[in-house]
A and B are shown apart, each in its own frame.
Chain A
Amino acid sequence: MLTFFMTFIGVLILYLLMVLGSGNGETMGYLFHWQELVAGVILSLIAAAITRAMFGKAVNNKLFFRFPLFLAYIPVWFLYLTKANIEVAIMVITGNIRPGIVKINPGLKTNLGKTILANSITLTPGTLTVDLSENSDDMYIHWINVKETKTMDEKIKGVCGPFAKWARRLAE
């Protein structure tokens, strides 16, 4: 039931963003037309009923109450995105690269956690997720500037930065 409700809210927010400004200046100004709101609720209910089973696998109820953490995650993520882009810009201009594919095991169990981590580090410090092992929790990552590391912990820290911790906090 909670999954259904969460999917409904998510779809409704997307729908409302897409019909923002449809008003005719009467009841709600120019923000929304009441017909769009009615259509939005009906369509969101249908969409939630269809996709509930799909999202139900990825989302558990605990996660719902951690939603505010995503807002704290955005500035951290954006800071690292900026840093990574400046690094890539320097690499493009100077041509100094030391690429390689490394294997790490960040110890994430849930699919959502793995998805968040893989997508976050694809966009951030010089790393690109190549493959995930489905039997174990290993991730194969192309690292554009490989640093010398001895232990697995150092390697995880070098590849993921703070994101392994954040993915665990958000999704496990």
Chain B
Amino acid sequence: MDTETIFLIIMAVLGGISMFFMLIGVIGLHRFPDVYTRLHAATKATTFGSIFLILVVITYGIFKLTEGNGETSGAFMHLIGMSIVALLALLITNPTGAHAIARAARRSGVKPEQAVVDEFEEVD
């Protein structure tokens, strides 16, 4: 196998994992009963999917760099750097956004459905 095939297989596997978890997130949004459980599907599955999607982009950038075309290597380094910054921003904002939605929902009185315990009390 040449280098191109190996890189293509790695990218296909990473992309497959990413697409599977994105799909799980979408199905979860439809199947779960209330806003809190839906947030579980929306935050965890899509964050994991996005990490692998960005890994695909980084792998592609490294593949193009190993081809060693001097003129275009700057553009692919730029691609890798930007992807890492996007990943960092995503990892910080995704749980924070979910937390904000859940807090707003609970404070405006949305009760968790099918709940076995609810120890929430009003705090200021």
Q: A: which residues have CB within 8 A of B?
A: 14, 16-25, 30-31, 81-82, 84-85, 88-89, 91-93, 95, 97-103, 118-119, 122-124, 126, 128-131, 133-135, 138, 140, 142, 144, 146
Report yes or no: B40 in contact with A100, Cβ–Cβ below 8 A: no
Closest beta carbon of chain A to B119's beta carbon, Å: 4
How many contacts A-B (CB < 8 Å)? 157
Please give the number of chain B residues whose Cβ is less than 8 angstroms from any Cβ of chain A in the complex. 56
Contact of A101 with B112 at beta-carbon distance under 8 Å, contacts A17-B85, A21-B75, A85-B21 already known: yes
Report yes or no: A130 in contact with B45, Cβ–Cβ below 8 A: no
Report yes or no: B73 in contact with A130, Cβ–Cβ below 8 A: no
Looking at chain B's contact residues, the main secondary structure is helix
Report yes or no: A17 in contact with B84, Cβ–Cβ below 8 A: yes
Q: B: which residues have CB within 8 A of A?
A: 20-21, 24, 27-28, 31-34, 36-37, 39-41, 43-45, 47-48, 70, 73-82, 84-85, 88, 91-92, 94-96, 98-99, 102-103, 106-107, 112-121, 123-124
Roughly how many angstroms separate A32 CA and B76 CA in the complex, as a whole number?
A: 13
On chain A, the residues within 8 Å of B114 by CB distance are: 97-99
On chain B, the residues within 8 Å of A133 by CB distance are: 123
Report yes or no: B45 in contact with A88, Cβ–Cβ below 8 A: yes
Contact of A22 with B78 at beta-carbon distance under 8 Å, contacts A88-B40, A92-B27 already known: yes
